[in-house]
Amino acid sequence: MKKILSIGLALAVSTMMFTGCEAIKNSNNTQKGTAIGASSGAVIGGIIGNNVGDKNNSVLGAIIGAAVGGAVGNRIGNKMDRQAEAISEAVPGAEVQRIGEGINVTFDENSGVQFKINSADLTTEGKGTLDKMAEVFREYDDTNILVEGHTDSSGAAEYNMSLSQKRAQSVSNYLQSKGVASSRLTTKWYGETQPKYDNGTEEGRIKNRRVELGIVASQEMINEAKNEQ
């Protein structure tokens, strides 16, 4: 019996991973809410999310892991479409991606959330960007926000981990100071352990020195979507 359950779970996860990736790649925005978790809901979404999160994209793992799926997920996806559009309009320099039932927003040091050199102190430009982000978050107040700090591989790993922590916390603290409830914010940091680009190039290092946001439905949004059935 255990073998059958293990095989069934493996097949379910494999199918969900293939279906989710292909659906996200090929679907339009209104379909993305059901791309992940539609057949097995948050259980399979959480399994996939944890596996992805253990590798090099923890934001993606968190978004996939939070998926509800089905018709409810589709309604959540529709709401996330509107929030993603609002973020893109408010902060043109941000990299905004709609993934499943959530949103991934990435800022490298040239695209909005900027810090003083070797510091967690936000620049004037960085504060201006977060002012705009906070305005969107206050308008769409039924989402939760994961804030992640990342660095390149220059310098000591311990220092990079500490710097990524301080920068992520600086962003969270600033958003709170602008009226975003602390209960909506989760802060994590990974130093140099999750590079998205080649640290062997200057361009890659700039992009790896980044802050990422993962935006997912709160329980309030999920309940509202369920009540719309």
Predicted pLDDT at 8: 32
Each residue's pLDDT tens digit, 211-224:
999 999 999 999 99
Q: Find the DSSP H helices in 91-214.
A: 124-139, 157-177, 202-208
* Model confidence at 85: pLDDT above 70: yes
Residue 147 and residue 74: Cα distance in Å, rounded? Answer: 24
Phi, psi of 214, deg, nearest 5: -115, 120
Q: What is the pLDDT of residue 57?
A: 81
Cα distance between residue 209 and residue 12, in whole Å: 36
Domain that includes residue 195, residue range: 2-227
pLDDT-derived band at 13, boundaries 50, 70, 90: very low
Q: What is the mean pLDDT of residues 108-130?
A: 90
Closest CA to 42 of 8, 17, 69: 69
What's the pLDDT score for residue 45? 42
Contact indicator for 189, 148 with CB cutoff of 8 Å: yes
Given a cut of 90, whether residue 93 has pLDDT beyond it is no
The b-or-e profile of 168-190 (16+ CB within 10 A means b, else e) is bbbbbbbbeebebeeebbbbbbb
Q: What is residue 55's predicted lDDT score, i.e. its pLDDT?
A: 55
- What are the tens digits of pLDDT across the range 137-185? 999 999 999 999 999 999 999 999 999 999 999 999 999 999 999 999 9
Identify the pLDDT of residue 110: 81
Q: Is the pLDDT of residue 41 over 60?
A: no
Average pLDDT of every residue of the chain: 81
CATH assignment at residue 109: 3.30.1330.60
Res. 228: pLDDT tops 90: no
Number of domains the chain contains: 1
Residue of 85, 91, 66, 86 lying closest to 76 (CA atoms): 66
Q: Are 16 and 60 within 8 A, CB to CB? A: no
pTM attached to this predicted model = 0.78
- Residues 34, 5: contact at Cβ < 8 Å? no
Look up tokens 């640290």; give the residue.
199
Residue 150's nearest CA partner among 101, 109, 185 is 109
Pairwise pLDDT comparison (107 vs 37), residue with the higher score:
107
Contact call for residues 49 and 61 (beta carbons, < 8 A):
yes
DSSP 98-119: EETTEEEEEEETTSS--B-TTS
30 has pLDDT over 90: no
CA 170 from centroid of its chain's CA atoms: 17
Which pLDDT score, from 0 to 100, does residue 3 have? 31
Weakest-pLDDT range from 6-20, 69-83, 193-207: 6-20
Please give the structure tokens belonging to residue 222.
């999920």
> Cα–Cα–Cα angle for 188, 189, 191, nearest 5°?
170
pLDDT of residue 35: 41
pLDDT digits over 152-164, tens only?
999 999 999 999 9
Q: Give residue 21's pLDDT.
A: 44
